[in-house]
Amino acid sequence: MTNHASGSSVPIPPDPEPFAPYELVRSRRIYESRWVGLRADDVIFPDGKPGVHHVVEISPAAVVVPVLEDGRIALIGQYRYPIGTTHWEVPAGRIDENEDPLLAAERELREEAGATAREIVRLPGFYAIYGISDHFANVFAALGCRLDHATEHESSERICVKVFTLDEVRALLSSGQILDAFSALALYRYFDLLERSRSTC
pLDDT tens, position by position, 118-144: 999 999 999 999 999 999 999 999 999
* Residues whose CB is less than 8 angstroms from the CB of residue 42 and which lie 6 or more positions away in sequence, other chains included: 24, 25, 26, 27, 28, 50, 51, 52
What's residue 173's pLDDT? 98
Alpha-carbon 169 to chain mean position: 17
What's residue 157's pLDDT? 83
CATH domain 61-199 topology: Nucleoside Triphosphate Pyrophosphohydrolase (3.90.79)
**First CA to last CA across the chain, in angstroms?**
26
Other beta carbons within 10 angstroms of residue 81's beta carbon come to 8
What's residue 153's pLDDT? 83
Q: Taking the domains of the chain in order of start, what are their residue ranges? A: 1-57, 61-199
Would you list the DSSP string of 70-85? TS-EEEEEEEETTTTE
73: exposed, middle or buried (C-beta count within 10 Å: 0-12, 13-18, 19+)?
buried
126: exposed, middle or buried (C-beta count within 10 Å: 0-12, 13-18, 19+)?
middle
pLDDT tens, position by position, 86-127: 999 999 999 999 999 999 999 999 999 999 999 999 999 999
What's residue 99's pLDDT? 96
For residues 121 and 109, give the distance between their C-alpha atoms in angstroms, rounded to a whole number.
13
What's residue 198's pLDDT? 81
What's residue 5's pLDDT? 54
Q: Where are the alpha helices (DSSP H) in 34-165?
A: 101-113
For residues 8 and 168, give the distance between their C-alpha atoms in angstroms, rounded to a whole number.
27
What's residue 184's pLDDT? 98
| Segments in the chain below pLDDT 70 | 1-8, 200-201
State pTM to two decimals.
0.90
